[in-house]
Structure 1
Amino acid sequence: MTEQLTKEDVTRLLSDPSPTTRADLAAKLGRQFDGDLTEGERRLAEEIIRHMARDAVVRVRQSLAENLKANPNLPRDVALTLAKDVEAVAIPILSVSQVLNDDDLLEVVRTGTDAKHTAIAQRPTVGAKVADALIERGSEGAVAALVANEGAQIGEKGLSRVIDRFGASQAVQEPLARRSRLPVTVAERLVAVVSEKLQQYLVAHHDLSPQVAADAILQSRERATVTLFSGESDEGALERLVAQLSRNNRLTPSLIVRALCMGDIGFFETALAHLAGVPLTNARLLIHDAGRLGLKSVYDRAKLPPALLPACRIAIDVLKETPYDGEEHDRERHRRRMIERILTQYEDLAADDLEYLLAKLGDMMR
């Protein structure tokens, strides 16, 4: 360091008016500023860095930021000064510098531009508080960048807020849907938003009445929704999903029966408990009562169609008799056995009820 950057460099920096000279020196310093400096060398380097961070020429400050953006030894006050600078200077620091803490980033989110928001959203890691602030204040582009970033810590409430603000945005929908893990409540809302767009397309392009389109959307959305929560074992997540579906009038009898026939007994239990207004533990005891009255009692209290009770009873019996075998595609084989069993015991169903159930099960197998 001593052989390459000296007090003469400082003198040259202060006396030479050429922006090119100062920018070159900033790059030189950035490349050499590391953890192997003596105390005297560090003081000298920091003196130059602080001076350059206040240089009147953007090109000089930008060169400094580019060459020090990933340096863990950059003084925090300098990093913050550069982060609050014009976009050309700030974005390199905001994008990668680990010197800035969450409070620093939150300050930039509150006062910064869209480009700065996007740079923060694309950092290798984004803390939960910063992510929430971006979701509230960021533009469509910044939020799209945030949800596309697997390193961003976005909770269930934050993801739901993304849909509140930008649920209709294709730019946000696609990266949101492609996140490696979505809470089931968020995934269900996203399916609902996409379905509404599909409904508009069907009405506009295929000469379908809104009612016909709505029926098609309902069946498509139910299949997608069941797929989303299939195998979900988190009771809290299932309870939140059921409550959300109920609030939005999507906790339909066909969805509940479809889920049961797909082998998702947890969703069926949670849905009946919610609709019947009884604790989940009580609902489970009634549903799995060895007699015939327990299931009927909670089912009737949930005000579900009597026509579908026989199918539910058969599905529960099949679940008890044929557990998953753990082999590849066991869920698919189990579901097929379930459907075959229901359809071979149709004598328990009236003709109109059977026609309805056949239609529903046929949809399920697509």
Structure 2
Amino acid sequence: MTTTLSQADVARLLTDPSEDARADTAAKLAEQVDADGLTENERQLAIDIVRVMAQDAAIRVREALSRNLKHSKHLPHDVAEALARDVEQVALPILEFSSILTDEDLVAIVRSSSGAKQTAIARRAAVSAKLADALIASKNPEAVATLVSNKGADLNDNHLSKVVDQYKDNAEVQSSLVRREKLPLTVAERLVAVVSETLRDYLVSHHELPPSVAVDLVLESRERATVSLLPHGGESMDVIQLCRHLKLHGRLTPSLLLRALCMGDVAFFEAAMSVLARTPIVNARMLIHDDGTLGLKSLYLRSGLPERLYPAFRVAVDVVRENEVDARDEDRRRYICRMIERILTQFEDIGQDNLDYLLTKLNHYAA
């Protein structure tokens, strides 16, 4: 079916000047503005008619123009701006797609509008730093969530820090921010304090974080910590899934496992060993808590962890088996102190970073 404006369309418009006829004509006319083969006079005539139709009283007519002119390279700036400032039904296609609008136009519209218009601007294929500033300042969570999800948005550390500060209580914005392809380390660390446990797991598994921050995130949930202090606690599929993500991104490191075990998160250690050794969690748990000395060692060798660290893990697992722990804070503190003291006194070759981390934790819990 042809969409070219014909003499028949003009005749129809003259004999049937209804809203339907005008909208149909507007759509066909809009498509001709960028058509190949038009002379300069013909294109100018089409633009002049578009300019008149952009003032049509019927929203449907103006919407037809906007929808069909959103990618136009020949759309006059004054018409683009008029359509962009129109009602949402007319404005949204132009705001999201038109390259005719300048940053100055868009910033002004962000500051004078709200809701769907701001969100449409945040979806643009390219959003400059200046425009991002205006969107972040808009206090529109939907627009900001859309902005931080947009790979074409020019967002620097300062922008992302502002989003963390201003939208720390908004789950939609937090989720979009955490799921950005790349996050500066400083921003990722700041997000730790404000996001939910699920988003913290995502932060650990998909973004670079210092080992000390990563292990603290793994241990953050009180519910998980309580369950993890029971050596034979129930299987936790969410912990296993977290370990799979960490392994996929190269972050299921020996330091993370050792620190988590020293801090009492046995469930995380069991899940990590299951994933690293490619062994069902039930089997991994049985080998870890085997009364003999061979079960843990065979699982450890299959995991690919450094052999030099095996004695430290052996000591930690022995402490787990020797101590019964309940969920009381005081009891848990004593447990962690005993664990760390045993590691530090019986095994020295754990690396300076791990040593510093465990000493810091020991001082914290002892205090």
2: distance between equivalents of 1:133 and 1:162? 12
Residues 296-345 of structure 1 show CA distances to partners (whole Å, capped at 9, x for unaligned) of xxxxxxxxxxxxxxxxxxxxxxxxxxxxxxxxxxxx968x4674587899
Structure 2 counterparts to residues 315-326 of structure 1, below 5 A: none
Matching residue's letter, 2:114: T
2: distance between equivalents of 1:177 and 1:84? 33
Counterpart for residue 73 of structure 1: 74
Counterpart for residue 228 of structure 1: 208
Q: Do the aligned partners of 2:5 and 2:29 also contact (CA within 8 Å) in 1?
A: no
Counterpart for residue 18 of structure 2: 18
Deviation, structure 1 residue 67: 0.7
1: distance between equivalents of 2:206 and 2:116? 39
Counterpart for residue 187 of structure 1: 188
Counterpart for residue 32 of structure 1: 32
1: distance between equivalents of 2:144 and 2:17? 42
Q: Do the aligned partners of 1:131 and 1:153 also contact (CA within 8 Å) in 2?
A: yes
Deviation, structure 1 residue 104: 1.1
Matching residue's letter, 2:79: V
TM-score, with normalisation over the residues of structure 2?
Answer: 0.55
Q: Do the aligned partners of 1:95 and 1:122 also contact (CA within 8 Å) in 2?
A: yes
Where in structure 2 are there 5+ consecutive unaligned residues?
Answer: 214-252, 257-302, 316-336, 348-353, 362-367
Counterpart for residue 174 of structure 1: 175
Counterpart for residue 245 of structure 1: none
- Relative to structure 1, the CA distance from residue 57 to residue 227 in structure 2 (aligned partners, 3 Å threshold; closer, same or farther) is closer
2: distance between equivalents of 1:337 and 1:157? 43
Q: Do the aligned partners of 1:52 and 1:60 also contact (CA within 8 Å) in 2?
A: yes
2: distance between equivalents of 1:25 and 1:141? 35
2: distance between equivalents of 1:175 and 1:19? 42
Q: Do the aligned partners of 1:124 and 1:151 also contact (CA within 8 Å) in 2?
A: yes
Counterpart for residue 98 of structure 1: 99
Deviation, structure 1 residue 353: 6.1
Counterpart for residue 341 of structure 2: 354
2: distance between equivalents of 1:160 and 1:76? 35
Higher percent of residues as helix: 1
1: distance between equivalents of 2:106 and 2:77? 12
Counterpart for residue 314 of structure 1: none
2: distance between equivalents of 1:188 and 1:131? 22
Deviation, structure 1 residue 354: 2.7
Matching residue's letter, 1:108: I
Q: Do the aligned partners of 2:70 and 2:98 also contact (CA within 8 Å) in 1?
A: yes
Deviation, structure 1 residue 355: 3.5
1: distance between equivalents of 2:308 and 2:53? 73
1: distance between equivalents of 2:192 and 2:339? 31
Counterpart for residue 319 of structure 1: none
Counterpart for residue 276 of structure 1: none
The aligned length equals 239
- Relative to structure 1, the CA distance from residue 181 to residue 47 in structure 2 (aligned partners, 3 Å threshold; closer, same or farther) is same
Q: Kindly report the root-mean-square deviation, in angstroms, between the aligned alpha carbons of the 2 structures.
A: 4.1
Q: Do the aligned partners of 1:144 and 1:172 also contact (CA within 8 Å) in 2?
A: yes
Q: Does 1:162 align with 2:163?
A: yes
Counterpart for residue 56 of structure 1: 57
1: distance between equivalents of 2:17 and 2:206? 68
- Relative to structure 1, the CA distance from residue 138 to residue 64 in structure 2 (aligned partners, 3 Å threshold; closer, same or farther) is farther
Counterpart for residue 129 of structure 1: 130
Residues 115-141 of structure 1 show CA distances to partners (whole Å, capped at 9, x for unaligned) of 100000111111111111101114111
- Relative to structure 1, the CA distance from residue 14 to residue 50 in structure 2 (aligned partners, 3 Å threshold; closer, same or farther) is farther
Matching residue's letter, 2:82: T
TM-score, with normalisation over the residues of structure 1?
Answer: 0.55
Q: Do the aligned partners of 1:118 and 1:145 also contact (CA within 8 Å) in 2?
A: yes
Q: Do the aligned partners of 1:163 and 1:190 also contact (CA within 8 Å) in 2?
A: yes
- Relative to structure 1, the CA distance from residue 48 to residue 5 in structure 2 (aligned partners, 3 Å threshold; closer, same or farther) is farther
Matching residue's letter, 1:43: Q
Q: Do the aligned partners of 2:312 and 2:343 also contact (CA within 8 Å) in 1?
A: no
Matching residue's letter, 2:74: N
The ranges of structure 1 where at least 4 consecutive aligned residues each deviate by more than 3 angstroms after the TM superposition are 3-9, 11-17, 223-227, 259-262, 336-345, 350-353, 355-361
Q: Do the aligned partners of 2:128 and 2:154 also contact (CA within 8 Å) in 1?
A: yes
Deviation, structure 1 residue 168: 2.2
Q: Do the aligned partners of 2:132 and 2:154 also contact (CA within 8 Å) in 1?
A: yes
- Relative to structure 1, the CA distance from residue 146 to residue 55 in structure 2 (aligned partners, 3 Å threshold; closer, same or farther) is same
Counterpart for residue 118 of structure 1: 119
Structure 2 counterparts to residues 264-343 of structure 1, below 5 A: 336=306, 339-340=309-310
Deviation, structure 1 residue 78: 0.8
Structure 2 counterparts to residues 181-260 of structure 1, below 5 A: 181-194=182-195, 197-198=196-197, 224=204, 228-229=208-209
1: distance between equivalents of 2:31 and 2:80? 16
